[in-house]
Amino acid sequence: MAATATPLETDQRIESSRPPQQGRRSLGRVLAWTALGLIMAVTLFPFYWMLRTAFSNGAFLATEPSNLLPVEPTMGAFERVFGLASTQEAQAQAGSGAAVNIGRYLLNSIVVATCITAGQVLFGALAAYAFARLRWPGRDAVFFLFLTALMVPPIFTQLPNFLLMRDLGLLNSYAAIVLPFFFMTPFAIFFLRQFFLGIPNEVEESARLDGAGPLRRFFSIILPMASGPLITLAILQYVQAWGEYFWPLLVGSEENVRVLTVGLGIFRAQTPQGSPDWAGLMAATLLAALPVLVLFAVFSRRIVDSIGFSGIK
Amino acid sequence: MAIATRAARLRTSSTGEPLRPDANGSPRERLTALAFIAPALLGFAVFYFWPTLRGFYFSFTEYDVFNAPVWVGLDNYRAVLEDAVFWNSMKVTVLYVVINIGTQTVLALLLAVLLHRLTRSVLVRSVIVLPYLISNVVVALVFYWMLDAQIGIANQFLGWLGVDPVAFFGDQNWAIPTIALVNTWRHLGYTALLLFAGMLMIPGTVYEAGRVDGASEWQMFWRITLPLLRPVLALVLVITVIGSFQAFDTVAVTTSGGPAEASNVIQYYIFDLAFQRYQFGYASAVSVVLFLILTIVAFFQLRLMRADQSDMA
């Protein structure tokens, strides 16, 4: 979904267009900073509220709904979602007592997202290289055909894909969740093709004269040069695969392959005593968001700089 | 995604290699290309191209998933026209898109201008894009909790202001605005960063000239930023509108289309038809209609906003 530029280009543009630095603190600037601060606060508050609730004792959430700190702080919600609490302990803190097994869902999500990312980056890089730097008949026609895949709404292909998985007997397997995303996503091909096109021909030319074939040029020259974009792509695709809900819901709702998003949806539908186990639910959502938050903390600059455009005149 | 498409076409004509005399490459190069493209081609054929054809075929059949599909010609399409639930879904979806895109675009423009005129901080940009990286399901659950009718923090806050509690997800009139605004929260920062990247491409000298002429920030926004941003804004709108029409996750996790079909968006209706009522043929026909609508909407948006022409000479 993301339109992208290489980080380098964004940096250069940022350098060439500094914001106006006015010495005086005009009223307008104070108001503008206030507005920006407000937007950031509204952005961050739900994250805080997730944290606050996850560390609260579920049984007391209703009595102190407006307390800004965790209510009767406890790790109980986390013990509950990992299945470490006994039924009585869980029910004492407003849990359902039913097994949630978030550990298993975490594992499933990691397996699925890792496989999807590995496939997309590897096969995306191969295809992108063929489109950007190899000459073969029909190249541009095939590329155009791939682009049309972007136009078809996912639900349109997912109904028949579900039938395909059923007919192959793959329902409720990792393979079913991974396969449709594994070999190709137009975005990955597109993203890397842009980068490969930007590499000067001379770089490969000298290797070509030395007798290096396309295979060797790809692995020993192009791939090392592309490590930055490859990492960025991997992060973006991992985040995307991690958050996917619709497809795993269709083909992988059984416990043994259930990923976090699907597991959370089911957890939310279990409502003991008429109201969901809010503390447990927030502990689970926090765990589901954690890997992405960690990735982001490490790679924030790379991710932020990858959002933009290139080639628009 | 349309942005990427355009960018790619521009690149092919400028830095691609088709101008070389041996445009079809050596036999060895062709063989390598075929090997490199093979996995992506397989993925495209099996999971994009073939299901698209099958989807069109199913839309002309009656198919309950268990017995073989039966050809019924245009019956499904005739039924769509007379289907009150379908028309309600369209109404709900359009309302959703209008609220979501309306608020999101205005706020994102404001936020992008604030960023553009105030700061280049990576930290600030990281914070505002954070919600976009968290999965739809997690976001939906956190807001489901914060907006709970009895003990959600939002209603506590309204209580302090002397406003009666609102059943955000449980009230027919509130369900769609609530879901639309939750998704505005998630996409705001990302959209703003796309617009911000577009603003960086406007030469700083234009603003300096404006300031020399005594233009205020307000005038500069309307006279410089907005007109010069138009092509980028158009493409961002096409991407976000198409995405917005396909809302599903938030609805599925919070309201399941209710109360009384008040949030039964088109994507959820298709899911419901196919996987809860096993009317696969009819569901396929509705998704063909969705496909057509999206194509028409994208076409007119690009035309109306003259996305391919820039005011930047």
- Whole-angstrom distance, CA of residue B129 vs CA of residue B192: 9
What CA dihedral angle connects A237, A195, A208 and B31, to 10 degrees? 50
Show residues of chain A in contact with B122, CB under 8 Å: 300-301, 304
CB atoms within 10 A of CB B165: 15
Show residues of chain B in contact with A14, CB under 8 Å: 120, 200
Model confidence band, residue A306 (pLDDT cutoffs 50, 70, 90): confident
Helix ranges, chain B (H): 2-15, 27-44, 50-58, 75-82, 84-118, 122-133, 136-146, 153-160, 175-200, 204-212, 217-220, 226-245, 249-254, 266-275, 280-304
- Whole-angstrom distance, CA of residue B137 vs CA of residue A50: 13
Q: Is the dihedral of CA B198, B311, B228, B185 positive or negative?
A: negative
Show residues of chain B in contact with A5, CB under 8 Å: 197
Looking at this protein, which amino acid is placed at residue A119? G
The pLDDT value given to residue A61: 84
Contact assignment for B32 to A215 by CB distance below 8 Å: yes
> Which residue segments constitute the domains of chain B, with CATH numbers given?
2-6+84-304 (1.10.3720.10)
**Tokens 């942005």, located at residue:** B3
What CA dihedral angle connects A204, A306, A150 and A237, to 10 degrees? 90
Check pLDDT > 90 for residue A26.
no
- Whole-angstrom distance, CA of residue B16 vs CA of residue B119: 36
The answer to whether the beta carbons of residues A292 and A235 sit under 8 Å apart is: no
Of the partner residues B111, B118, B197, the one whose CB lies closest to the CB of residue A308: B197
The answer to whether the beta carbons of residues B73 and B60 sit under 8 Å apart is: yes
Assigned token pair, B259: 């109360």
Model confidence band, residue A40 (pLDDT cutoffs 50, 70, 90): very high
Judged by DSSP in three states, B71 sits in strand
Q: Which of A136, A142, A196 to mutate to test the interface with B (most CBs of B within 10 A)?
A: A136
CB atoms within 10 A of CB B223: 13
- Residues A107-253: name the CATH superfamily: MetI-like (1.10.3720.10)
Q: Count H helices, E strands: chain A?
A: 16, 0
The CA-based angle B84-B87-B93, given to 5 degrees, is: 140
What CA dihedral angle connects B223, B225, B231 and B233, to 10 degrees? -120
What is the DSSP-derived secondary structure letter of residue A253?
A: -
Show residues of chain B in contact with A39, CB under 8 Å: 107, 111, 114, 128, 188
Assigned token pair, B11: 């690149």
Assigned token pair, A17: 């267009």
CA distances, B303 to each of A135, A203, B228, B297 (Å) = 34, 41, 17, 10
* pTM listed for this prediction: 0.87
Model confidence band, residue A6 (pLDDT cutoffs 50, 70, 90): very low
Show residues of chain A in contact with B150, CB under 8 Å: 62, 65, 275
Closest C-alpha among B117, B125, B249, B251 to residue B190: B125
- Whole-angstrom distance, CA of residue B280 vs CA of residue B64: 6
Assigned token pair, A75: 């790790």
Residue B71 bridge partners (DSSP): B61
Residue A265, H or E segment:
helix A260-269
- Identify the weakest region by mean pLDDT among A8-17, A265-274, B104-113, B167-176: A8-17
DSSP string, B148-167: -TTT-HHHHHHHHTTPPP--
Contact assignment for A39 to B274 by CB distance below 8 Å: no
The answer to whether the beta carbons of residues B68 and B148 sit under 8 Å apart is: no
The CA-based angle A240-B126-A43, given to 5 degrees, is: 90
The answer to whether the beta carbons of residues A159 and A180 sit under 8 Å apart is: no
- All structural domains of chain A with their residue ranges: 29-61+71-98+270-313, 107-253
The pLDDT value given to residue B167: 92
Phi-psi map region of A224: left, alpha, beta (phi>0 left; psi -120 to 50 alpha): alpha
CB atoms within 10 A of CB B31: 15
Q: Is the dihedral of CA A131, A137, A138, A142 positive or negative?
A: negative
Residue pLDDT, tens place only, B37-92: 999 999 999 999 999 999 999 999 999 988 889 999 999 999 999 999 999 999 99
Closest C-alpha among A239, A267, A218 to residue B131: A239
Chain B: residue whose CA lies nearest to A310: B7
Of the partner residues A162, A197, A218, the one whose CB lies closest to the CB of residue B15: A197
Cis geometry, peptide bond prior to residue B259 (ω within 30 degrees of 0): yes
- Whole-angstrom distance, CA of residue A161 vs CA of residue A178: 12
Q: What are phi and psi of B62, to 5 degrees?
A: -105, 125
Check pLDDT > 50 for residue A247.
yes
Residue A307 bridge partners (DSSP): A4
Residue B179's Cα: distance from chain center in Å? 14
Per-residue pLDDT of chain B (313 residues; tens, 9 = 90+): 344 444 444 444 444 444 444 567 788 888 989 999 999 999 999 999 999 999 999 999 999 988 889 999 999 999 999 999 999 999 999 999 999 999 999 999 999 999 998 988 889 999 999 999 999 999 999 999 999 988 899 999 999 999 998 999 999 999 999 999 999 999 999 999 999 999 998 888 998 899 898 888 889 999 999 999 988 898 899 889 999 999 999 999 999 888 989 999 999 999 999 999 999 999 999 999 999 999 999 888 888 877 666 666 4
Q: How many CA atoms lie within 13 A of B260 on its CB side?
A: 4
Contact assignment for B287 to A19 by CB distance below 8 Å: no
The pLDDT value given to residue B140: 95
Closest C-alpha among B250, B218, B21, B13 to residue B131: B250
- Whole-angstrom distance, CA of residue A159 vs CA of residue A143: 25
Q: What are phi and psi of A3, to 5 degrees?
A: -90, 145
Q: What are phi and psi of A200, to 5 degrees?
A: -60, 145
The answer to whether the beta carbons of residues A120 and A181 sit under 8 Å apart is: yes
Q: CA of A135, closest CA in chain B: separation in Å? A: 5
**Tokens 């957890």, located at residue:** A267
The pLDDT value given to residue B174: 94
Judged by DSSP in three states, A83 sits in coil
Of the partner residues B23, B127, B288, the one whose CB lies closest to the CB of residue A43: B127
DSSP string, B262-276: TT--HHHHHHHHHHT
- Whole-angstrom distance, CA of residue B225 vs CA of residue B206: 10
- Whole-angstrom distance, CA of residue A192 vs CA of residue A182: 16
Closest C-alpha among B268, B75, B53 to residue A163: B53
